[in-house]
Structure 1
Amino acid sequence: MSLGRINSQVNLSALAKMMSNAGLQRMMFTDNFKQQAKHLKQLLKKNGVEVEKKSYVSELINSSYEHLLTHYRHEYLYKVALLNSYVLNNYSLSDTILLNEFKIGNSKADTILINGTNKVFEIKTELDSPERLYTQINDYYKGFSEVYIVIHHSEIGKYLNCVDDHVGIMTFSKHHTIDLFKPAQTYNEKLDILVMMKALRKEEYLQLVYEITGKLPEATPVRMFKACINLLSSYSVLDVQNTFLKIIKQRISLSTNDLVQDPSVPDILRLACYHYNLNQNQYISLIERLTHQI
C-alpha cells in the first residue's frame, strides 16, 4: 500500500471523526469553536476538497458530509439517514424519541426508537463485519421487541442468512436514504427483567419499581438493587418492559424537537443537535456559528 493511500485513509478517518455525534457537538457547542472549524477546513483540503478562501461553517460541514457520503460512509452517516429519511418521514417527534448508544446486556444498541412501539437499529456499515451480530441481537431482545439491522444495499446477500426470520433488515440506498427491505416481527420471548433493570440508572430503576408495585423495598443501599429484582419477580415481564420504555423515553427533552427540524440546521447536524438536547439559546448560538466565515 502506498504512502499516499495510507494518508488518504488517515485523512478520511480524521474527517469522519469530526463529522460524528461527539465531533459535531464539540465543534458547535464548545468554546474552541473557531479552532475546530479551522481544523475542519484544513482536513477538507487534505482530503482533496476545494474550499473557498473564506467559507461559511455551514458550507464546510455540508462539503464534509458530501465527501464522506462518497468516500467513507461511517456509522454516523447511517444514523443521519435513519433520522432524516426514515424517522422524520414515518413518525412524529412529539411522541417519539431516539436514544443513541444505549447499553443493554453486554452490547450497545446504535439507535433505539420508542413511541407506541420500540425498535432497535444495529448499524453495520461497509467498514464493519457481522462478527458480533448474533451476540448483539440476542442482547437487544432482552429489553426490546423489534430489532433491525441497517446495512448498505450492496451487502444484503452478506447479511441475509446471518439473522433470524423475525429480525428486520433496512438498507442504506444509493440515494443515501434508509429503505425498508424486510419488516421486523415482534419478538418478546427473550425479555429479561434483570437486564432491563441493569440498563437503567439508579433513580430510573427505583421509579420503575415504585410505578409497578406502588412501593420501594426496605433495604440498605448495597442490597437495594437485589431487593428490587426480588420485588419485581412476581410481575409480568411485559408490564416491566412497558414501564422500562416509558422511563427511558424521559431522557430526551421534547422541547428539542421543533428546533432540530428547522431548515436552517444542516442534515448532518440535526442528529447531533437532537442528542445534545438543544435548547433555544443554544439554537441561536448554533445558527450564528453556522454563518461564521473561516
Structure 2
Amino acid sequence: MNNYSEINKVFTRSSLKNLIEEGTSESYENCIEQFVKPTCLMKNHDILQILYNVLDKNYRNEYYYKNTLLNKLLLGTHSLNTSAAISELPVRRSKADFILVNGNSEVFEIKTELDTLDRLPLQIEDYYKVFPLVSVLTSETNYYKVYQLFKGSNIGIKILTRRNTISIKKEPLPNFEQLDSISIFKVLRKSEFEHIITTKIGSLPQVNQFDYYKECMELFTTIPIRELQTELNRILKKRIIINNRLFSTIVPMELKSLAYFSNFTDDELLKMDMFLQNEWR
C-alpha cells in the first residue's frame, strides 16, 4: 500500500533546505523507492515532478492547494512586483494558510478533501478580527458543507477543481465591522507597530520597558481601524524579500510555494537550481 503521506515530508521548507545542502534525505529516498522508477539519467527536478504528480492524482494535500494558489493567483493573475503572499501567519487562535496582499489582503483558509471542517468557524472568526476579506478554498466534495456553514455571510467560497482550476463559487465581501485593533497589533512585530505609532501619532511612549508594550498597545488602539488595516497590508507586503528575476527563472512550478515562503537568498536559489539539475545518484 502506498504511503502518500510520506510525500508530505518532502514538500516542506526544512526538507527542501536539507535537499539543497545534503543532496538527499531519508524521506526523499523513501519516496523515490515507493513512487519513482529512476533511471541513471534522471535529474532531481524530474523526480520532484513525478512526486508532485502523485500528489495531484492521489493526495492533494495542503501544500498542493497552497502551491496552486501561489502559481495561479500571485504569479498568474497578479504580479510579484505589485503583490505578495504570506503563509502561516498567526492570527489569534489560528494560523492563516495563505494571504494574498495587494491593495487589500484576502485570507484563504484551505480545507482539502483530506481535512475536516471542525475548526473552520473559529478560524473564520479569528481572521475577521484582522482582515476584512476572507475566503475558503476547498474541494468539490466539501463545497456543499462549506456553503451550508456560511450561506448568507460575507465569506468567499472557491473550489480547487479536479482540472486544477480555481472556480469562484462566491466572491468575498468586505467585513470591516469585526476588525479589532488589539488583534492587528498582536500580528505585528515590534519594529512594525513602532513604525505605525510613530507615523500616525508622532512619537513612542516614554516609559520603562516593563510598561512599554502595554503603552504602545493603548496608543495603537487610538488610531482609526481602517488606517491600521491599510498599514498592515503595506507592512505584510514588505515581509517577503526575494529576487524576482531569479525566482521566476530558476524555481520550477512544483516548488514555487516552498521557495517563496522560505524567503530564499540569491545564493540559496542558485544552490537549489544546482540540486535540481544534478542527476540522481
What is the distance in 1 between the residues matched to 2:8 and 2:162? 19
Counterpart check, 1:293 vs 2:279:
yes
Structure 2 counterpart SS, 1:95: coil
Contact in 2 for aligned 1:212/1:243 (Cα 8 Å): no
Give the Cα–Cα distance (whole angstroms) in 2 for the partners of residues 265 and 244 of structure 1. 28
- CA distance in structure 1 between the aligned counterparts of 2:135 and 2:144, rounded to whole angstroms: 16
User: Given the alignment of the two structures, is residue 44 of structure 1 paired with residue 26 of structure 2, yes or no?
Assistant: no
- Structure-2-length-normalised TM-score: 0.93
Give the alignment partner of residue 122 of structure 2, picking from 135, 145, 157: 135
In the superposition, the TM-score normalised over structure 1's length comes to 0.89
Query: SS at 1:154's partner residue?
Result: coil
Q: Over residues 49-77 of structure 1, what are the superposed CA-to-partner deviations in whole Å (9 max), with x where a residue is unaligned?
A: 33224421001100000011111111000
Matched residues in 2 for 1:206 and 1:62: separation? 44
1:223 is matched with: 211
Tell me if the contact between 2:88 and 2:98 (Cα under 8 Å) persists in the aligned partners.
yes
Equivalent-residue separation in structure 1 for 2:74 and 2:52 (angstroms): 20
Aligned pairs for 1:139-288 (under 5 A) are 139-163=126-150, 165-253=153-241, 255-262=242-249, 264-288=250-274
Query: Across the two proteins, how many residue pairs are aligned to each other?
Result: 279
Q: Which runs of 4+ in 1 moved over 6 A?
A: none
Query: How many angstroms apart in 1 are the aligned matches of 2:164 and 2:245?
Result: 24
Is it true that 1:65 corresponds to 2:57 in the alignment? Answer: no
The two structures, once aligned, show a CA RMSD in angstroms of 1.7
Query: How many angstroms does 1:146 deviate by?
Result: 0.4
* Structure 2 residue identity aligned to 1:221: Q
1:87 to 74, 77, 84: 74
Q: What is the distance in 1 between the residues matched to 2:235 and 2:80?
A: 17
- CA contact 2:157–2:171 (8 Å) conserved in 1: yes
* CA shift in 2, pair 1:24/1:177, >3 Å: farther
> SS at the partner of 1:151?
strand
CA deviation after TM superposition for structure 1 residue 227, in Å: 0.5
The alignment partner of 2:206 has SS state of coil
SS in 1 for 2:142: helix
Report what 1:14 is aligned to.
6
1:25 Cα deviation from its structure 2 partner: 3.5
Answer yes or no: is the 8 Å Cα contact 1:98–1:111 preserved in 2.
yes
Identify unmatched segments of 5+ residues in structure 1: none
Residues 44, 162 of structure 1: CA spacing in aligned structure 2 closer, same or farther, 3 A cutoff?
farther
What fraction of aligned residue pairs are identical, expressed as a percent?
Answer: 29
More displaced stretch, 216-225 vs 110-119? 216-225
The residue aligned with 1:55 is 42
Q: Is contact 2:61–2:114 with CA below 8 Å preserved after alignment?
A: yes
Whole-angstrom CA distance in 1 between matches of 2:167 and 2:98: 16
The CA deviation at 1:176 is 1.8
How far apart are the structure 1 equivalents of 2:207 and 2:79? 42
Gaps of 5+ in 2: none
CA distance in 2, matches of 1:115, 1:212: 21
